[in-house]
Structure 1
Amino acid sequence: MKIRVLVIAACILLMLIVVSLIESFQHNYTDSPVESDVIVMLGGDGPHRMQKAAELYKEGYADKVIITPVIESDELSQSSALAMEYGIPEEALILEEDATSTYSNATETIELMEQFDMTSALIVTSDYHIKRSKYIFEKINEGRFDFRYIASYEEDDRWYEGPGAFYVWYSEYIKLWAYRLDIYRWSE
């Protein structure tokens, strides 16, 4: 009887692991943009995020752009200078300097949205980062704000096609589970 229970438990565990691994490859989610109060550009991962935020701004989806975190550096693609170079005027920028992780991107963004009396945002990030961003933004949001998640990538430059695809997958898999297990404050 004990062996049968152990075999059933092992099969269930194996099935959960397989489902978890299959689900981990699904990072191609993106919403269609709609008019919003603000565009939020999550810092990191090269110029694609800023380019997408500028594109959405120029198409009139929002009058303001939050850069979280803004880092005034020529090496990183999250500076106010780069935003202005891509066509976002200085008066449209809201610069957040304190975020150090996706979790703090979410908390700082929500705080700024409350401060500026905003109710909707387009969250712009890399395609591989959408799943984790959506998870934590929605968890912290608790239904107060309307968020849409916009992937920034070139059609021929998806996360799974690059030379570091395994690292990207592995890193996001671990971080997402750290978020799901509520240990995200220590995962990044």
Structure 2
Amino acid sequence: MTSLARVLIVDDALQPAEMIYILNGEVNTRPFHAARLFEAGLAPQIVIPREEMGPASEIGLYPNGTDVSNEVLVNLGVPQDRITIIEVEGGVTSTRDEAQVLLDYVKKHDIQNVIVVTSAFHTRRSRWIFRKILAGTNVHIQMSAAPQWKFDETNWWRNENGLLMLANEYLKFGYYLATY
């Protein structure tokens, strides 16, 4: 069972980079992991693309996940002036969108080395689409797997969220391979 999860996980041996790029979702794991990397001195800047605003967020009843990630980072000691939120018309809705936003950002700011933070089970598909979108550039992507909150590759099948996340990731990766 652990092999089914481990094949999805890419966790590079990190080297210092110019920025940490947090993929949206999983606000209980990803920004916490990014803050640890920032504190360790692996990059001087954290960048987050603005995610799509749902109707409840638009009327102020439910916080946007990007804003939650920003607040987590600040509460963990990351200075606000070291956090950049990339405003995207309509917001990003997929990992592919996030890769495209990163491509535009690194071209504009002449960035060559990026640490991408996402959930452990999401790293292989993320690396695949980021490499595809960034092909032909000199941008080096390092994947950093944020540990899951209530499960990991050794026990995912004992947790409903773990089971759903693993199944979804295989389905989404298949969709990406067929579509992009």
Smaller-chain TM-score bracket: 0.7 to 0.9
Give the corresponding residue for 1:175. Answer: 172
For structure 2, list consecutive stretches of 5 or more residues without a partner in the other structure.
none
Q: Deviations over 1:92-141 (max 9, x none)?
A: 11102321110001000111111111111000000010011011000111
One of 118, 129, 132 as aligned partner of 2:125: 132
Does the 8 Å contact 2:20/2:114 carry over to 1? yes
SS in 2 for 1:164: helix
C-alpha deviation, 1:176, in angstroms: 0.5
1:100 is matched with which residue: 65, 90, 93?
A: 93
Find the counterpart in structure 2 of residue 63 from structure 1. Answer: 44
Distance 2:107 2:85 in 1: 15
Higher relative contact order (CA 8 A, sep 6+): 2
Partner of residue 88 from structure 1, selected from 62, 75, 78: 78
Aligned counterparts of 1:47 and 1:146: Cα–Cα separation in 2: 27
Provide the C-alpha distance between the structure 2 equivalents of 1:39 and 1:140, rounded to a whole number of angstroms.
Answer: 18
Distance, in Å, in 1 between the alignment partners of 2:86 and 2:151 is 28
Other structure's SS at 2:117 match: strand
Q: Distance in 2 between matches of 1:74 and 1:41?
A: 17
Identity %: 22
For structure 1, list consecutive stretches of 5 or more residues without a partner in the other structure: 1-21, 184-188
8 A Cα contact 1:25 1:169, kept in partner: no
Task: Tell whether 2:146 aligns with 1:152.
Answer: yes
Q: 1: CA distance between counterparts of 2:148 and 2:164? A: 20
| 2:31 paired with 1:37 | no
Q: Residue type of the partner of 2:120?
A: D
Q: Which has the higher mean CA deviation after the structures are superposed, 39-48 or 125-134?
A: 39-48
Q: Relative to structure 1, is the Cα distance of residues 61 and 110 closer, same or farther in structure 2, using a 3 angstrom cutoff?
A: same
Aligned position for 1:15: none
The 1-side partners of 2:148 and 2:70 are apart by 22
- How far is the alpha carbon of 1:81 from its aligned partner? 2.2
In our comparison, the structure showing a higher alpha carbon Rg is 1
Question: RMSD between aligned alpha carbons?
Answer: 2.5
Offset at 1:153?
A: 0.7
2:14 matched to 1:51?
A: no
Deviations 1:59-105 (A, max 9, x none): 11111111123678657474422221122111111102321110001
With the length of structure 2 as denominator, give the TM-score of the two structures: 0.79
80 and 166 in structure 1: CA distance in 2 versus 1, 3 angstrom threshold? closer
Normalised to the residue count of structure 1, the TM-score between the two structures is: 0.76
Secondary structure at the residue paired with 1:94? strand
Distance 1:24 1:59 in 2: 27
